């Protein structure tokens, strides 16, 4: 067997050009497959990061009725029971982000606009989504301030600037009127129009006073260090809370429609990926056919001087194996730096495509992932395809007429 392996290896380099052509076909297939799946995975990661950091977080604790009927009457009491439950799983929880929010009417003079008023702790929001870095005018408030920070779109629509007053009118807990006047201390820009045109931020205590909901929250966001802990917390954290009053929701439960749409798109792209694999398989197959037909006379002579068909088939199989391994490893070596550069420098999209991305809630970029399983999965897939194609020389050897082949 060792002799056959050595012969297979030496055969590869007797005609280097032929071998390099075959290796190049495998290399190109690996790089192309890695690029496509890297883009798919990068888009998925961007989507999850956007959803998690901008809106839902990894998990949320809510009032049991809030998800089906979000209103101030279904805010949760943030007390000892919740704190005790969080303390029990503190090793899995990175940090929490308390919020209270509702839709109100924002006004200046005779101009009005529907806005979403969100009470936050600025240091917690900064840790979650780096909110302060989006400031374009003024500054973010602290916990003890009483001014508002508004979206740039809200400022433009209501003609507000730093130092102006925004009037907010809404509904608080148990039908109480929520009304207040707040100075604008900061203007913040979001990449997504929906947020930019609606968001009004207040300090958490000020928002709780505004909604007449002291010590209450609409949701308590939980961020974890390891994403694998999300399902564990979703399973066991409710056991520590009274299920008559509290519910624990994952980001997947909070945004099922968007996730379903994304999964459908993901399935379509994966279908195209399998079409690519088929095309790649035929490309490698064509190269292998060319290589075998160039060597038919050689095979005929080897068989006529006494080499067994099984031994020749093993040599051909090992040649294909070596070519596949070299091609796959070369594809990873070539593909990783390219994907790494694209990961660090995502492709910016513009014009109409950028508008589509923004409407869907994404930043207008085409991101690429460098998750290890992308390279491993694509390498294994192409390797298996190359091996399956490599069975053709084995079949050809066993069906070869050595006399006619030797005469060619």
- Tens-place pLDDT, residues 187-207: 998 877 788 899 999 999 999
Contacts of 400 (CB under 8 A, 6+ apart): 296, 299, 300, 303, 309
Residue 371: per-residue pLDDT: 84
Comparison of pLDDT for 149 and 274, the residue scoring more: 149
Q: pLDDT grade, residue 162 (50/70/90)?
A: very high
Closest by CA to 88, choosing from 246, 225, 247, 241, is 241
Indicate the pTM of the whole model: 0.69
The least confident of 22-36, 137-151, 292-306, 367-381 is 292-306
Residue 405: per-residue pLDDT: 59
Q: pLDDT grade, residue 408 (50/70/90)?
A: low
Mean pLDDT confidence for 19-47 = 81
Residue 228: per-residue pLDDT: 80
Give the three-state DSSP class for 361. Answer: coil
Return the structure tokens found at 333. Answer: 């070596």
Comparison of pLDDT for 358 and 84, the residue scoring more: 84
Q: pLDDT grade, residue 403 (50/70/90)?
A: low
| Helix axis angle, 372-389 to 391-398, nearest 10° | 10
Residue 79: per-residue pLDDT: 82
Q: pLDDT grade, residue 265 (50/70/90)?
A: low
| 27 and 327 Cβ atoms separated by less than 8 Å | yes
Closest by CA to 179, choosing from 191, 171, 169, is 169
| 382 and 330 Cβ atoms separated by less than 8 Å | no
For 316-327, the pLDDT digits (tens) are 778 878 888 888
Mean pLDDT confidence for 171-200 = 88
Residue 181: per-residue pLDDT: 93
Q: pLDDT grade, residue 120 (50/70/90)?
A: very high
Supply the mean pLDDT for the chain. 83
Residue 386: per-residue pLDDT: 77
Asked whether the predicted pLDDT for residue 359 surpasses 90, the reply is: no
Strands (DSSP E) contained in 268-357 are: 347-348
Asked whether the predicted pLDDT for residue 388 surpasses 80, the reply is: yes
Contacts of 381 (CB under 8 A, 6+ apart): 33, 277
Comparison of pLDDT for 231 and 405, the residue scoring more: 231
Residue 61: per-residue pLDDT: 92
Mean pLDDT confidence for 3-25 = 79
Asked whether the predicted pLDDT for residue 169 surpasses 90, the reply is: yes
Q: pLDDT grade, residue 168 (50/70/90)?
A: very high
Return the structure tokens found at 39. Answer: 């883009």
CA dist., res. 220 & res. 56, Å (int)? 10
Q: Count of CB atoms within 10 A of residue 255's CB?
A: 18
Closest by CA to 250, choosing from 274, 229, 278, is 229
Q: What is the percent of the chain where pLDDT is above 90?
A: 25
Residue 258: per-residue pLDDT: 67
């Amino acid at each position: 067997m060792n002799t056959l392996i050595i012969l297979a290896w030496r055969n590869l380099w007797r005609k280097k050009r032929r071998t390099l052509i075959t290796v190049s076909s495998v290399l190109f297939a690996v790089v192309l497959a890695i690029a496509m799946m890297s883009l798919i995975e990068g888009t998925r990661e961007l989507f999850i990061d956007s959803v998690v950091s901008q809106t839902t977080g990894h998990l949320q604790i809510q009032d049991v009725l809030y998800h089906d009927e979000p209103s101030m009457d279904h805010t949760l009491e943030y007390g000892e029971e919740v704190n005790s439950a969080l303390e029990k799983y503190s090793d899995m929880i990175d940090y929490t982000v308390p919020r209270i929010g509702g839709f109100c009417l924002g006004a200046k003079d005779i101009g009005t606009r529907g806005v979403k008023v969100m009470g936050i702790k600025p240091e917690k929001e900064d840790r979650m989504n780096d909110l302060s870095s989006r400031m374009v005018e003024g500054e973010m408030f602290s916990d003890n301030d009483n001014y508002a920070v508004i979206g740039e779109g809200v400022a433009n629509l209501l003609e507000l600037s730093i130092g102006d007053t925004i009037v907010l009118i809404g509904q608080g807990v148990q039908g109480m009127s929520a009304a207040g006047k707040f100075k604008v201390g900061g203007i913040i820009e979001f990449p997504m129009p929906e947020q930019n045109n609606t968001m009004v931020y207040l300090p958490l205590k000020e928002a709780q006073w505004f909604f007449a909901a002291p010590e209450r929250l609409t949701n308590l966001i939980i961020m974890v260090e390891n994403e694998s802990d999300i399902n564990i917390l979703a399973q066991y954290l409710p056991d520590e809370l009274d299920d008559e009053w509290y519910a624990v929701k994952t980001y997947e439960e909070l945004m099922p429609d968007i996730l379903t749409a994304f999964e459908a798109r993901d399935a379509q792209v994966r279908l195209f990926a399998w079409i690519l694999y088929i095309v790649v398989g035929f490309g490698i197959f064509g190269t292998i056919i060319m290589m075998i037909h160039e060597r038919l006379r050689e095979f005929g002579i080897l068989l006529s001087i006494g080499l067994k068909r099984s031994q020749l088939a093993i040599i051909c199989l090992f040649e294909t194996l070596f070519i596949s391994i070299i091609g796959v490893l070369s594809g990873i070596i070539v593909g990783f730096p390219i994907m790494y550069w694209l990961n660090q420098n995502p492709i910016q999209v513009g014009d109409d495509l950028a508008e589509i991305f923004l409407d869907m809630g994404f930043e207008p970029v085409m991101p690429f992932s460098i998750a290890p399983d992308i390279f491993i999965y694509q390498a294994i897939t192409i390797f298996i395809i190359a091996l399956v194609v490599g069975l053709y020389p084995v079949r050809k050897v066993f069906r070869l007429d050595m006399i006619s082949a030797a005469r060619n």
